[in-house]
Amino acid sequence: MTKPPPGRGCAGCAVVAAQLVLVAMLFVGAWAEEYFSWDPEHIPGPVGPYIVKMGVVAVVAAVAGVVAGVRGAGAAAYGQAVVVVITLVAMAVTNTMGASAHEDQHKRECYSTPDTPKCADVR
């Protein structure tokens, strides 16, 4: 295996930084969708699309990490592994955040109209 010429580490760092910024933007977007609204009757949207987009970032990072490892760029491979781990954690937190927000919304709906059949589990 041959090592890449010196000076290519900066490009690897830039790719990792761009991926982490993208994951952060997706996470903040999901958080804003769930919790930020001036409307007291705001119904949060699904977080599924945000999780899927984060999953795409994780897959791209995993593929880039494998390619970097095969080419002998260990630092880039480790950087991509860090991106994958951070993205998976962000996906798990986003899923938990979405489930919590939807449960709160369900409880609010059931307290306002307790006769609804779907509210039997909340009473």
Other CB atoms closer than 10 Å to residue 63's CB: what's the count?
A: 11
Query: Has residue 77 been placed in a domain?
Result: yes
**Number of domains present in the structure of the chain:** 1
Which residues touch 65 (CB under 8 Å, ≥6 apart)? 76, 77, 78, 79, 80, 81, 83, 84
Let me know if residue 39 belongs to a domain.
no
Helix (H, G, I), strand (E, B) or coil at 10: helix
Q: With contact defined as beta carbons under 8 Å apart, do 68 and 80 qualify?
A: yes
Domain membership of residue 75 (yes or no) is yes
Other C-beta atoms closer than 10 Å to the C-beta of 72 total 12
User: Is 23 among the domain residues?
Assistant: no
Please indicate, yes or no, if residue 54 is contained in any of the structural domains: yes
In a domain, 29, yes or no: no
Q: Give domain status of residue 56, yes or no.
A: yes
Which run of H or E residues covers position 109? helix 74-112
Tokens 């998976």 locate to 88
pLDDT digit string (tens) for the chain, length 123 residues: 566 555 556 777 888 899 999 999 999 988 887 777 777 666 777 888 899 999 999 999 999 999 988 988 888 889 999 999 999 999 999 999 888 877 777 777 777 776 767 676 655
Spatial distance between the Cα atoms of 60 and 113, rounded to a whole number of angstroms: 46
Give the DSSP H/E element, type plus range, for residue 17.
helix 9-35
Predicted local distance difference test score (pLDDT) of residue 21: 93
Instruction: Supply the range of the domain harboring residue 84.
Output: 46-97
Q: Residue 64 falls within a domain, yes or no?
A: yes
